[in-house]
């Protein structure tokens, strides 16, 4: 019993705790902006040029969002690759 | 053992070796005095005390010798991991900066193209509007598509 206690006591010398933390990566600012709503056509504007103008505004919004979406995919893949390199 | 992380490696190692060494030396000394140099009668009354102190130092020293080995190994791993994390954080920052520049330049191009289209519409306004005008129904359907059911 005494030997068991002694061995148990001596083995606790091997116990240790290692606090190493890696902070969560921050995404670039433009990607954190919320998406805007599309702009509806003003019912008082009845000309085809007004429609084209409105469509142009909305398509611009779509293209911006498309770039941001692609950037999110790239961000995720890059950060994942970096994170896996730490192990 | 975690408390050892606050003390430099070299100090701990030295202290542990001294404690363990004193314990071993004390045990050898008491054995020698009792068995070989037993004519040193002046030390005989102290033998028991010296032996107990030596046993305590020996056990304590042995405990810390075991602990320090593991501690050193962990410290090396922690240092390695911390270095990797530092590099990863730097890489992450650089990747973010690169991506931010990429987004900004692409959005800039999109806005330039959009402005160019807008200008083109303005320039050709008369030609575009000459043959067509929109009625309420067309505008309603178009706006429904934009709002996608939202009011």
Q: Is B114 exposed, middle or buried (0-12, 13-18, 19+ CB in 10 A)?
A: middle
Nearest to B95 among A16, A29, A82 (CB): A82
Q: How far apart are CA A61 and CA A39, in angstroms?
A: 9
Q: How far apart are CA A62 and CA A57, in angstroms?
A: 9
Q: pLDDT in tens for each of the 151 residues of chain B?
A: 556 667 777 888 899 899 999 999 999 988 888 888 777 677 777 888 888 999 999 999 999 888 888 878 888 888 899 999 999 999 999 999 999 999 999 999 999 999 999 999 999 999 989 988 888 888 988 998 888 777 6
What pLDDT does residue A41 have? 92
Asked if A62 and B136 count as a contact pair (C-beta separation under 8 A), the reply is no
What pLDDT does residue A17 have? 56
Q: How far apart are CA A58 and CA A73, in angstroms?
A: 23
Q: How far apart are CA A29 and CA B59, in angstroms?
A: 58
Is 0.90 surpassed by the pTM of this model? no
With contacts defined as CB-CB under 8 Å, which chain B residues touch A83?
Answer: 88
Minimal CA–CA distance to A78: which of A70, B84, A33, A20?
A70
Distances (CA, A) of A43 to A49, A56, B117, B128, B141: 13, 17, 22, 18, 11
Q: How far apart are CA A65 and CA A54, in angstroms?
A: 17
What pLDDT does residue A18 have? 58
Locate the chain A residue with the closest alpha carbon to B86: A22
Q: What is the ipTM of this complex?
A: 0.71
* Chain A CB within 8 Å of residue B114 CB: yes
Q: Angle, nearest 10°, between helix axes B9-35 and B47-123?
A: 160
Smallest CA–CA separation between B41 and chain A, in Å?
A: 33
With contacts defined as CB-CB under 8 Å, which chain A residues touch B63?
Answer: 9-10, 12-13
Per-residue pLDDT tens digits for A15-70 = 555 567 888 898 998 899 999 999 999 989 889 999 999 999 999 999 999 999 99
Per-residue pLDDT tens digits for B75-112 = 888 889 999 999 999 999 999 999 999 999 999 999 99
Inter-chain contact B114–A52, Cβ cutoff 8 Å? no
- Of all helices (H) and strands (E), which one includes residue A57? helix A48-86
In this complex, how many residue pairs, one in chain A and one in chain B, have their CB atoms less than 8 Å apart? Answer: 145
Inter-chain contact B133–A86, Cβ cutoff 8 Å? no
Greatest alpha-carbon pair distance for chain A in Å reads 98
């Amino acid at each position: 019993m005494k030997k068991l206690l002694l061995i148990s006591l001596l083995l606790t010398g091997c116990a240790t705790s290692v606090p190493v933390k890696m902070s969560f990566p921050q995404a670039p600012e433009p990607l954190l902006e919320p998406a805007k709503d599309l702009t509806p056509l003003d019912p008082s504007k009845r000309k085809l040029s007004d429609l084209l103008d409105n469509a142009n505004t909305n398509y611009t919004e779509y293209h911006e969002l498309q770039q941001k979406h692609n950037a999110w995919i790239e961000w995720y893949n890059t950060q994942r690759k970096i994170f896996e390199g730490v192990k | 053992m975690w408390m050892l992380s606050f003390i430099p490696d070299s100090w701990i190692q030295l202290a542990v070796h001294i404690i363990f060494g004193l314990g071993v030396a004390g045990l050898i000394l008491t054995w020698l005095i009792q068995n070989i140099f037993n004519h040193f009668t002046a030390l005989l009354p102290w033998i028991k005390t010296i032996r107990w102190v030596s046993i305590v130092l020996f056990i304590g020293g042995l405990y810390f010798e075991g602990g320090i080995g593991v501690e050193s190994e962990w410290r090396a791993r922690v240092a390695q991991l911390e270095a990797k994390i530092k590099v990863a954080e730097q890489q992450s920052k650089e990747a973010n900066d690169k991506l931010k520049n990429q987004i900004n330049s692409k959005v800039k191009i999109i806005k330039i193209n959009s402005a160019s289209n807008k200008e083109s519409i303005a320039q050709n306004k008369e030609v575009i509007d000459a043959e067509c005008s929109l009625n309420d129904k067309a505008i309603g359907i178009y706006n429904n598509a934009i709002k996608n059911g939202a009011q």
